[in-house]
Amino acid sequence: MNKYLIQLFLVVALFFLFAALTFPDEGMWLMTQLEKLPFSEMRKHGLMLSPEQIYSTTGTSIKDAIVLLPGGTGSFVSAEGLIITNHHIAFGAIQSVSTVEEDYLKNGFYAKSKAEEISVPTYTARMVTSIKDVTSDVLNGVSDTMSASSRQEKIQANIADIQNKAKTGADMECTVSETYNGVKYFLYCYDVVRDIRLVYAPPSSIGNYGGEVDNWYWPRHTGDFGFMRAYVAPDGKAGKYSKDNVPYKPRAFLPVSAQGVTENSFAMILGFPGRTFRYRTSAEIQLSKDETLPLVREFFRTRMDIIEAAGKKDRAVEIKYASKWRGMANTYKNYEGTLEGMKRSNIISQRLDNEKKFQEFLQSKPELQQKYGSIMKDIVSTYENLKSFNKKQIVMGQLIGGSDLLGVATRFMRFANSFAKDSTGEVKPSDKSVSDMKEFLTSAFKDVDANVDKELLTALILKAADLPYDQHIDAVQRITGPRIGEQREKVVKEYVNDLYKHSKITSKEDCERLITKSSDDIRDDDFIKLAISLDKDNAQVQTQTAAFNGKIGMLRGKLLAAYMEWKGPDLYPDATRTLRLTYGEIKSYVPRDAVHYNFETMLGGVMEKETGEDPFIVPQKLHELWEKKDFGRYADPLLHDVPVAFIGNLDITGGNSGSPVINGKGELIGVAFDGNWEAVVGDYLFQAPLNRSINVDTRYVLFLLDKFSNAQNILSEMVIH
């Protein structure tokens, strides 16, 4: 290579290195921080909007099109309340209305008119109406001399008062969100819509193409999208389902782009990311790595295997447990990738190095050293205390939450505890508690199979019995005694079999009869006796956990305050399931030596992956469209194929699923549905060269609506550019 080419190569390399370092910034940014973002740099990369057009406190803006949904995010794409989200976020809704006869999970669903849209009562839609910094109000009367528990009680009392005063109507919800681990607090108020209906879902062979095999991996070929609609009463009030309700009129909705994306083009995501742990210390991450994540994975694997085996024998059972299984499978694989990423990135070493630099900074500032100098040591000490009951609290949560009928028993225990004397002196439940209990039972028994639940509870008790002696659960020890091995397994199986044989809570009908009994009769049921026994153990754990949370919360807040002294006040906070913006570019990446992943996948790749066996089955009609090259206006003009998915260096996490991916003009170009395997550790550590969001391309969405489903009524109400 001659001297000129070498110089040119170095100039180009430095340019791309500098560009990578300056754009984009990592982070899930608060709406109140937008003015501090580098909009001049963002405009150079293709943004054409002002901060006010993205988030406005006085007029309409893009934030008004963003919807908080159960488990994820959605966005309005029409003036008629039409919401686009992920297939996997709508999955619970699809599952809830599916039967063996009407198997919408497998075959998909399409409402040819609004009259055919199906109500999904478990779903609500929330839209942010206002965001206010209420830090001073939350911390009013709080001092550093308070104990951790007293401090927490005062903060919670202040928060409750703020929320109650802010709520001005039945259709509004207001919640205070702790930010920067308590350094700041923001009040979020939402409009709430309670009548949500399923409009469209592709078959699972499209919406879940690749299944758990492909989950968290790029390249992806999944049409992970679906549509729902928000309805309100004719007077605009957000009541529950009624045939007289009318489509909700959102303040704003997103136009949909059919023009596609190109590499290095600007993109941003607005959504509701769940939780991140970017400011956790080495001691905190070490315990997650050594105990918390592996133990939860172990319990999830046990439950998943039981449910999967039962589902293979009976499609009705598979449908009942589909949403639960998929949720566990997603978390299981996430934890697996996180643990692998922690090892690969050597995150503990990175944190220790950062903490050393932080301590050196404090030592250079005597006043800060005096105020914050012991913070790391205090966090280590607090986590040493957590180790004494960490496994027990995890196992207790898995045991109580892993059996639906144990959940019913626990609810009955609380129901019995609510009995009180009425005006005549009779001890009985209130009419409201009876009504609430009946409503709970209707929901609880819809997706339960007693035989599966029996297997689950047996397996969970056996695993709980493996806790170390100093963390054992008394209720479990009373069942197993000192037995081990086959003897333990035998006695647990016998105990659980008797429980399900003699209890009055194993069917909805028996439960409804039990509601009419006295509180003593209710507590006399064997299953409810188990719930009471476990509750005594759990009360002790919850006391320990509350004390830990109060102390570690105070320490984490103190640490973030110190970090702000070190790095400046404009840090992005960890995700807290509140509205955030992340921005960047459509971008390919190099996951490892000699491997380059392109930024988009095509319909041709769907065909290449097909095996004819689940999860790689291609619907016949999609095959025919591919063979005829009947792609309409949705094909890439250069590649002569329909784009399916694309990636970008956008900083997202769980809760962002279903979030709109928006171009520089404010148009919808995709729907976020996953992250990539190499960066699953991103909840703890952002790695700029590797972090990518995986998004379904709107051209694939439009192609499937038009050519695959002939869903012209849905297409006609969207604004498509």
- Cα–Cα dist 574/684, whole Å: 10
Structure tokens at 279: 């400011």
Instruction: Let me know: does 505 contact 412? Beta carbons within 8 Å.
Output: yes
Q: Find the helix or strand (DSSP H, E) in which 260 lies.
A: none
Residue 243: count of CB within 10 angstroms of its CB: 7
Residue keyed to tokens 């079999």: 497
323/318 Cα distance (integer angstroms)? 9
∠ CA 345-350-351, nearest 5°, is 125
DSSP, residue by residue, 533-544: HHHHHHHHHHHH
Active site residue 404: no
**Of 191, 195, 224, 641, catalytic:** 224
Three-state SS for 15? helix
How far is the C-alpha of 264 from the C-alpha of 669, rounded, in Å?
A: 14
Q: In sequence order, which residues have a C-beta less than 8 Å from that of residue 673 and are 6 or more positions away?
A: 86, 88, 222, 224, 225, 657, 658, 694, 695, 696
The 3-state DSSP class for residue 530 equals helix
HSE at residue 400, side-chain half, CA atoms within 13 A, is: 20
Which of 75, 87, 88, 177 is the catalytic position?
A: 88
Tokens of 98: 């599916």
Burial class (CB in 10 A: 0-12, 13-18, 19+), 721: exposed
Contact (CB, 8 A) for 709 and 700: no
Q: Is 88 one of the annotated active-site residues of the chain?
A: yes
For residue 498, give the 3-state DSSP assignment: helix
- Judged by phi (left if over 0) then psi (alpha if -120 to 50, else beta), residue 622 lies in alpha
Which phi and psi angles does 118 have, rounded to 5°?
-105, 130
657 part of the active site: yes
Amino acid at 427: V
Q: In angstroms, how far is the first alpha carbon of the chain from the final one?
A: 47
Both structure tokens of 385: 């205390």
Count of C-beta atoms within a 10 Å radius of residue 16: 9
Q: What is the rounded CA–CA span in Å between residue 698 and residue 463?
A: 45
CA 487 to chain centre: 40
Distance, CA of 203 to CA of 448 (rounded, Å): 24
Which phi and psi angles does 401 have, rounded to 5°? -90, -10
Half-sphere exposure of 520 (CA within 13 A, CB side): 1
User: CB 465: neighbour CB atoms within 10 A?
Assistant: 20
Contact, 653 vs 334, CB < 8 A? no
What one-letter code names the amino acid at 101? E
Catalytic machinery residues: 88, 224, 657
